[in-house]
Structure 1
Amino acid sequence: MNPTTRLAAVLGWPIGHSRSPQIMNAAFAALGIDAVLVAIGVPPDGLAAAVAGLRAQGALGASVTIPHKLSVVALCDEVSEAARMIGAVNCLHIIGERLIGHNTDEGGFIDGLHAAGFVSRAPRAVLLGAGGAARAVAYALRAGTVDVIARRPDEVTWTRARPWSDEQLRAAFGLADLVVDCTSLGLGGADEIAVTDALPLDALPREAWVATLVYHRATRLLERALDLGRPTLDGRAMLVHQAARAFGIWTGQAAPIEIMTKSLDDDLRAG
């Protein structure tokens, strides 16, 4: 860094797992932009102070991750339509004295999906889970039909959810062009194998895709889908493409997707 270097940050708690610095700094370097993104661990009660500090420094902005995507909305002077509809912000852009909140998760998901070869612009999609990630993915897929299946459907307030039962899953899967796991199953909990193996993936049409938002490990869901000959997509695509959208917001330039993807893959291989 030097006195002219522009600062950006990724804010979360904890933050050690974040791959954003590697991805974004590779993009800055590739385009010769004098900027750096740093990871800052921010506990919930320190979010307002951290954002105020970035504003005072005239930073480019910040990526925002768990657990701050909802609470940071109240700190923004303005939010994009996507952020308003989803109810969450994952990208902050500082323009002068104004703080603009964006949600690039939804655009990143659809960009990554289409870049991987998924062609439908109005798919029949089934989302497993109804948390914040599902809400962003549902908004991304709003041009089509979205069925949300949840363990506790009566507690879902942002959409009408179906109960997680074999009957409902099989009926929804039978009509699906795309299934997206938005739950934490793929993180490798004790119930991953049992719950995933109970999913009726055999009911999916042959052309249906299966996706997960997990990017750091192979998941049982994608392993099963591949065994059944279904196209699959893991969470690396969404991670890179949401970062690419943030890069464009901050710099006004097209992001070097291939370089960002290689940076992520290299970092994941390094452990």
Structure 2
Amino acid sequence: MNITAKTQKVGLLGWPLGHSLSPVMQNAAFAASDLNYVYLPLPVQPELLLQAVEGIKALGFVGANVTIPHKVTIMSYLDEIDTSARLVGAVNTIVIKEGRLIGYNTDAAGYMSALHLAGVEITGRKAVILGAGGAARAVVAGLITAQIGEVTIGARQNAQAGDAANLFKVSNVLVRGIAWDAPEFIDTLSQADIIVNTTPLGMYPNISQQPPITWDLLKPSAVISDLIYNPLTTKFMVEAARRGHIAVGGKDMLIEQGALAFSLWTGCNAPRAVMKQAFYRGLKTLITKN
């Protein structure tokens, strides 16, 4: 594309950013939509985040994505927090309008779209979330909006799981936190309808790893979901499929959350098919480089 002084700028704030596929997806979407926008990776060390926020505002950016490790910290530097981000407790998308920075979270809605695409029934079901970080909170928030019946957050430490669960006390859904090695967690797994890995266990390059669950205790109908998209099929998903479970990977969540962010910045519908094609190209390039 021909970048000029009139090109609208969108950035990606994170540290590090070497493996992000968002730039290739968003720039492909802008080009396909004939929009004079450019999406720029902006690696920012944690101690320089405030200066970076001031910088994108001063340079006339129209928005940004926010990724690890800045999703929570950045909230204190914004002028307004949308309900979507307030519920999750993290921001992954910023829209800049008339000098004001507004924080959103498209991860929760993106995840629910991914489950919908896979035909997963949510209402009234029981879910177990493996991990208690920002991704876990987004998944819990999305499940609550879809009227899940009950959610258990499992983490290595009981306090970590409990702290994450306490963020959702205001909801009408029972959300509790339990350590992975607690007897109650084993019982909860055996009753789960949806089990979601939000940890990096199994992510490239550590593809031999997977979350510590006892497979034989799971209901045959339990859906296994993994937010990891590199590799496309994790060891966790392979084992789930081998045992007859429906397995849902992280690709569609990444594309859907990106499509929602695209619409927030541009006011246009995102070309999802184009973004999916760009995702596959970008992932292939990543694999080739590594």
Could you say whether these structures have the same fold, taking a TM-score greater than 0.5 normalized by the shorter chain as the test? yes
2:130 is aligned with 1:128: yes
Q: Show the counterpart of 2:171.
A: none
SS across alignment from 2:219: coil
- Which residue identity is paired with 2:159? D
Q: Show the counterpart of 1:146.
A: 151
Structure 1's unaligned 5+ residue stretches are: none
Aligned equivalent of 1:215, options 229, 237, 242: 229
Identity of aligned residues (%): 37
How far is 1:254 from its partner? 1.3
2:191 is aligned with 1:186: no
User: Counterparts of 1:30 and 1:138 in 2: how far apart (Å)?
Assistant: 33
Aligned equivalent of 2:38, options 3, 15, 36: 36
User: Counterparts of 1:189 and 1:32 in 2: how far apart (Å)?
Assistant: 36
User: Counterparts of 1:132 and 1:75 in 2: how far apart (Å)?
Assistant: 18
SS across alignment from 1:141: helix
Structure 2's unaligned 5+ residue stretches are: 166-175
Q: Does the CA contact (< 8 Å) of 1:166 and 1:199 recur in 2?
A: no
Q: Show the counterpart of 2:90.
A: 88
SS across alignment from 1:241: helix
Q: Show the counterpart of 2:26.
A: 24
Q: Show the counterpart of 2:164.
A: 158
- Which residue identity is paired with 2:64? A
Q: Show the counterpart of 2:243.
A: 228
SS across alignment from 1:161: strand
Q: Show the counterpart of 1:203.
A: 217
How far is 1:168 from its partner? 3.4
SS across alignment from 1:120: coil
Q: Show the counterpart of 1:262.
A: 277
Instruction: Describe the superposition over 1:185-234 as per-residue Cα deviations: whole angstroms up to 9, x where unpaired.
Output: 122687954x64x5222333333210111111132211100101111111
How far is 1:114 from its partner? 0.8
2:177 is aligned with 1:168: no
The TM-score normalised by the length of structure 1 is: 0.93
Q: Does the CA contact (< 8 Å) of 1:122 and 1:141 recur in 2?
A: no
Residues 21 and 188 of structure 1, relative CA distance in 2, 3 Å threshold:
closer
User: Counterparts of 1:247 and 1:71 in 2: how far apart (Å)?
Assistant: 23
Name which of structure 1's ranges 170-179 and 198-207 shifts more when overlaid on structure 2: 198-207
User: Counterparts of 1:31 and 1:207 in 2: how far apart (Å)?
Assistant: 41
User: Counterparts of 1:45 and 1:9 in 2: how far apart (Å)?
Assistant: 18
Residues 191 and 212 of structure 1, relative CA distance in 2, 3 Å threshold:
closer
Q: Show the counterpart of 2:119.
A: 117
SS across alignment from 2:17: coil
Q: Show the counterpart of 2:14.
A: 12
Instruction: Give aligned pairs, total.
Output: 269
User: Counterparts of 2:99 and 2:123 in 1: how far apart (Å)?
Assistant: 38
Instruction: Describe the superposition over 1:147-195 as per-residue Cα deviations: whole angstroms up to 9, x where unpaired.
Output: 11121112331313112137434422322221001122122687954x6
User: Counterparts of 1:190 and 1:35 in 2: how far apart (Å)?
Assistant: 35
RMSD (Å) for aligned C-alpha atoms: 1.9
Q: Does the CA contact (< 8 Å) of 2:207 and 2:234 recur in 1?
A: no
User: Counterparts of 2:36 and 2:124 in 1: how far apart (Å)?
Assistant: 40
User: Counterparts of 2:28 and 2:137 in 1: how far apart (Å)?
Assistant: 30
Q: Show the counterpart of 1:241.
A: 256
Q: Does the CA contact (< 8 Å) of 1:23 and 1:261 recur in 2?
A: yes
User: Counterparts of 2:271 and 2:206 in 1: how far apart (Å)?
Assistant: 38
- Which residue identity is paired with 1:118? V
Q: Does the CA contact (< 8 Å) of 1:6 and 1:34 recur in 2?
A: yes
Name which of structure 1's ranges 121-130 and 226-235 shifts more when overlaid on structure 2: 121-130
SS across alignment from 2:152: strand
